[in-house]
Chain A
């Protein structure tokens, strides 16, 4: 029994899940009807559904970010890529004669996604071929990307009136918000492709030692480009959802600070920033923790503006917990406990 307990505690998803449960319980205490999910007009409604829906863009980006971080990289440009994709889609829809037609929206979304692939290849090229450190390589697109988005929108906030596009952000399908379905699909595809094939292992091996994996036949460069491209693709999807949700492209604010939320989700989920090991399930829990934290701040009645302070506190605590210094201190403590327990057992 205690062995089972020890195994559960030792599982790397244990602490993230505990964090999520604690946050949910706080919400339940503050607001007893928190877990109620009702069906209105054939759509699911409730705080939990809201958490899923609002957390979807973060989760989508965090999935891409997880794979990038697993290769010992980082992608700071996701916010800028999200802004660019939103700006591209909105400007195409605005420029077309029929903004409300499905074909226009399909073209707009496709073009936005294709552009994101180009941006992703660019990031991957800088990291894998030129060999620039990932932080700096993606910093370049992060700086220049907002400028590009600004050029596309000409500094305006583009408001579109297109029901099919709006549907992408706030529509429902079989009662479930579209954003949640898209997030589930992205998550499912990433999990299947990386865990049901050897791809995930290759990604991890590149994260542990790029040179060694290259020499053992893994095409590290190509793999890095693919991973950064996938991350940019995820960012573009999230950007489209965010833009569609407000039906407006705001080059300054779309996806602002979302790279931090995504990194935070990955870190909370137990994926090490040193690369070489990742957990998509952990990232899912991490993204839910962040969104629940935001909701908790609202329900408990703390001014919502303080959310960022809480996020800072969470990321600090998580980093300190993951730190080798803390791990050493803990293992020392545990050893002392074990010795004491052993002595106690011997005495009785």
Chain B
């Protein structure tokens, strides 16, 4: 299987935003001349595949530098690590959403599923279940929900947004059925897992959530770029009929993508519960928008076919750094976060439009 990775004819397959620049310069005709490097970079910035990711990478660095110049104490390793700590659940959500959007679908149920996972965890832990049983149960339940959504979309040809809207209703409704008020989590093992800091040396530390999120990201990168399933996901986004004609397992893949999103939502719910240490039925309203925004800002085309998991992670980091700046600013009310996310989403969609239109 691994041989297949090098198959694409396009040079400069990026492993991540950082490597894109130099790789783009060494094209097939790549002499060492300066002009070639320049046009390589320009090609990279204006390609619908890599352009948005590059813009996002530049944006992230720029915002981080601006923050560092404006606020004392911003330019520290711990502030950066806290981006990961605070947004680990969103990273996992964005990974699941990337799979769905790559096939040209959308999953609006993720926020409600995060809330539902939190409610299940809180209520079961309250009755004395052990975390070792609760967490796997949540992951299985949310994967099954994803499976049902996937079947509804594929077998019954229901539009993705309406099927996931139904799942959203169901998950929120079940939250209320479990409890109408907030349930605190006091289980010592669970709390220990949630608050334990893993020292990295130099006074820096991260939480277990960050490691889980990074493992999920690594797995997703491997699945998307090195397995037959991953290539089928891209193929479906590029053109479902063509995929079908090529004999790819379109049906199985389309359903599996929603199972993955369900699983990721469940896991994100667990990580979110680590973060809040409680379950509340109205929590995480609008998180689906954050996840979609992160994926789009990260350069995944909404029509499917183009995009990277690492781009989505970068998208989450951009959203996170904006939130951090608003916190550091102090005088700006937190409602601005939502407005900024909306504006950023719009800017990147228009960017995508422009870049794809230029290539046609």
User: Measuring CB to CB, which residues of chain A are less than 8 angstroms from any residue of chain B?
Assistant: 74, 126, 130-133, 135-136, 139-148, 150-151, 154-155, 256-257, 260, 263, 267, 273-274, 303, 305-313, 315-316, 319-320, 323-326
Q: How many whole Å from A314's CB to the nearest CB in chain B?
A: 9
- Taken together as a complex, chains A and B put the C-alpha atoms of A323 and B341 apart, in Å, by 35
Question: A316: nearest residue on chain B (CB-CB)?
Answer: B166
B353: A residues at CB distance < 8 A: 130-132
Which residues of chain B come closer than 8 Å to A130, judged between CB atoms? 350, 353
Given A144-B339, A148-B339, 16 more pairs with CB closer than 8 A: A126-B346, A130-B353, A131-B353, A132-B350, A133-B303, A136-B345, A147-B339, A256-B285, A267-B162, A305-B176, A306-B173, A310-B173, A315-B165, A319-B163, A319-B166, A324-B157
Q: Across the interface, which residues of A come within 8 angstroms of B157, CB to CB?
A: 323-325
CB-CB under 8 A from A315, the residues of chain B are 162, 165-166, 169
- B167 and chain A: residue at smallest CB distance: A312
Cβ < 8 Å to A, chain B residues 160-197: 161-163, 165-170, 172-174, 176-177, 180
Closest to B165 in A: A260
**Residues B333 and A150 in contact, CB atoms below 8 Å apart:** yes
Q: Which residues of B contact A257 (CB under 8 A)?
A: 172
Residues of A near B180 (CB, < 8 A) are: 305
A320 touches B152 (CB 8 A): yes
The answer to whether A147 touches B336 (Cβ under 8 A) is yes
The CA of A19 and the CA of B327, in the complex, are separated in Å by 51
A313 to B280, CA, bound (A): 23
Known: A308-B176, A309-B174. A319 touches B289 (CB 8 A): no
Taking a contact as CB atoms closer than 8 A, the residue among B158, B303, B335 that contacts A323 in the complex is: B158
A273 and B159 contact, Cβ closer than 8 Å, known pairs A140-B346, A147-B336, A155-B335: yes
Chain B residues whose CB sits within 8 angstroms of the CB of A323 once the complex forms: 156-158
Q: How many A-B residue pairs have CB under 8 A?
A: 123
Q: Are B172 and A308 in contact (CB under 8 A)?
A: yes
Question: In B297-323, which residues have CB < 8 Å from any A CB?
Answer: 302-303
Q: What are 27 inter-chain pairs, A to B, with CB distance below 8 A? A: A74-B161, A126-B346, A130-B353, A132-B349, A132-B350, A136-B302, A140-B345, A140-B346, A140-B349, A143-B341, A144-B341, A144-B342, A147-B337, A147-B342, A155-B335, A273-B162, A305-B180, A308-B169, A308-B176, A309-B169, A309-B174, A312-B173, A313-B170, A315-B166, A319-B163, A320-B152, A325-B156
Give the distance in Å from the alpha carbon of A274 to the alpha carbon of B157 in the complex: 11
Which A residues are CB-close (under 8 A) to B165? 260, 263, 315
- Smallest Cβ distance from A105 to chain B, in angstroms? 26
Per the bound structure, the CA–CA distance linking A73 and B329 in Å amounts to 39
Q: Which residues of the other chain, A, contact B286 by a CB distance below 8 angstroms?
A: 143, 146
Residue in contact with B156 in the complex, picked from A136, A141, A326, CB distance below 8 Å = A326
**B339 with A319: CB separation less than 8 A:** no
- Name the residue on A nearest B156 (C-beta): A323
Pick from A147, A148, A316: contact of B152, CB below 8 A: A316
B333 proximity list for chain A (CB < 8 A): 150-151, 154-155
B54 at the interface (CB under 8 A from A): no
* A172 to B157 Cα, complex, angstroms: 45
A86 CA to B81 CA in the complex, in Å?
40
| Contacting residue for B169 out of A256, A260, A273, CB 8 A | A260
